[in-house]
Structure 1
Amino acid sequence: MEISLFKLFTTIVLLTVARSSLVEKDDLIQVLLKEIQKLGSKVERLEKECVLKSDLSEYKRKRLLLPDNPTTSTIAFSAYLSHLDTGPGIGKLREIVFDKIETNLGNGYDTYSGTFRAPKDGVYAFTWTIFVFGGGSTANGEVWTELVINGQIHGSLHADTETTSDDDSSTGFVIKVLNKDDVVFIRTSNHVPQGNLYSKNMRWTFSGWLIE
């Protein structure tokens, strides 16, 4: 009888322990399920953020109208003149060296000579801006410039203050079909410039790019 009671007691203890273990395991499973749900929500949120960032990057790229790798496929340059001089000091038929580069994709522009050499055949666009102001009591400000391609004039600009105490600017634009190694630059015309050729707050600039 004592042995039977002992067996019964042992069985009850084992059943109690087993039940307690099952309850603990069930609680643990519930906790793990909740953590998995939280992780799933975080992953979903991160995926949405990645998609939004990807869409934004693509939008910015399209707005800039740039290819994925502009350094290898785009030809474009923009430079400006960093100093000023008097018109007579520069003289006539003198090439303007725009010595400060803003952009030079394709490395077609040379800051030492002021010339652009076409890296390949294509249709190119060029624009340049000049600025002049009067020379005090001595003369009004006046300057003529030319866009020269392979020694031939393909565009010209004229700026004239008409008084000794005024300023004036002018901008030109030319589209031209070029062959590889064609040379383009800006120069003064055969008229001697007057006054001061100003390039500070208002800059002399020279830019160009390959259209197709």
Structure 2
Amino acid sequence: MELIYVIACLLVSLVVVPVSSFSDDPDTQKILAILAGQRNEILQLKETVLRVENDNKELKNEIHHLKEKTEHHTKHNANTLKIANMSPRHKRLLLDPLNEYTENQRVAFTAKLSKHMTNLGNNQPIVFDAIVTNVGQHYSPNTGVFTAPTNATYYFFASIMSHSGKVLESEIVKNGVRMVMMYSYDTAHEQGTNSVVLQLSAGDEVWVRHTLTIGSMVYGNTWSTFSGFQISDSYYL
């Protein structure tokens, strides 16, 4: 019974003693101080971990970007090396700015005048309206103008027949500038002919026109013709 009484007294004392009495204890205060310090350290470590994780994400993205950039440069250098080791023919086909022709299909044309032309004006174009050949479709039978599809060297030839007893002067022009002239005159029909080799840039135009006011009639019926074809690429002249 005495033992039970003692235990009961101890329990009552624990309930009655105020909590503040524990906090006033020096050892308890030290423990609380240590716990508070550890809590602050844990919060700082947590902030450090978050900062390191963010830094790792940024580094990972930068590494991925550098990897892509390196792969791009590697492919570019490999392609450059391939181009450098190509034959001139393959390199020419690869570097053609318009990529509209191949080695086996260079532009070429021949057109003829189906009907007579009369009353020609000063510098009036002679439109060869009947197509014989037009590889690449770069000669227009509507305007009489050939337009260069790519930088290259071309050969042009024109044959112009005058009417019987009539004088006729004509010329082959590049972008409106005279290159060569043709002259025909006789008591019978006569043909004036000439040819020229031209280095053209893409978009340059070549055609045949009447010269000044000398003569005004061109004999047609397929007797007058205009031809041209590509010789080689200007890159390899």
1:211 corresponding residue in structure 2? 231
Alpha-carbon distance in 2 for matches of 1:92, 1:129: 19
**2:101 is equivalent to residue 80 of structure 1:** no
- Give the letter aligned to residue 194 of structure 2: G
CA contact (8 A) 1:72 1:106 kept: no
Alpha-carbon distance in 2 for matches of 1:71, 1:90: 39
Change (3 A) 1:142 1:70: farther
**2:171 is equivalent to residue 150 of structure 1:** no
Change (3 A) 1:182 1:71: same
The alpha-carbon deviation at position 70 of structure 1 amounts to 7.8
Alpha-carbon distance in 1 for matches of 2:166, 2:128: 20
Bigger-Rg structure (1/2):
2
2:166 corresponding residue in structure 1? 141
1:167 corresponding residue in structure 2? 189
Alpha-carbon distance in 1 for matches of 2:206, 2:199: 12
Q: Give 5+ residue unaligned stretches, structure 2.
A: 1-100, 233-237
**1:1-212 equivalent positions in 2, closer than 5 A:** 73-86=105-118, 89-134=119-164, 140-161=165-186, 163=187, 166-194=188-216, 196-200=217-221, 203-212=223-232
Please give the secondary structure, in 2, of the residue aligned with 1:192: coil
TM-score (norm 2): 0.52
- Give the letter aligned to residue 159 of structure 1: S
Judging by fraction of residues, say which structure has more strand: 1
1:27 corresponding residue in structure 2? none
Runs of 4+ off more than 6 Å: 69-72
Aligned length: 132
Instruction: Name the stretch that deviates more: 71-80 or 181-190.
Output: 71-80
- Give the letter aligned to residue 100 of structure 1: A
User: Alpha-carbon deviations, 1:4-43, whole Å to 9, x = none?
Assistant: xxxxxxxxxxxxxxxxxxxxxxxxxxxxxxxxxxxxxxxx
The alpha-carbon deviation at position 146 of structure 1 amounts to 0.8
Alpha-carbon distance in 2 for matches of 1:205, 1:116: 13
Alpha-carbon distance in 2 for matches of 1:77, 1:70: 16
The alpha-carbon deviation at position 131 of structure 1 amounts to 0.5
Please give the secondary structure, in 2, of the residue aligned with 1:211: strand
CA contact (8 A) 1:132 1:141 kept: yes
The alpha-carbon deviation at position 74 of structure 1 amounts to 1.8
Higher relative contact order (CA 8 A, sep 6+): 1
Alpha-carbon distance in 2 for matches of 1:130, 1:183: 20
Alpha-carbon distance in 2 for matches of 1:105, 1:72: 11
Alpha-carbon distance in 1 for matches of 2:177, 2:194: 16
TM-score (norm 1): 0.58
Counting aligned pairs with the same residue, the percent is: 30
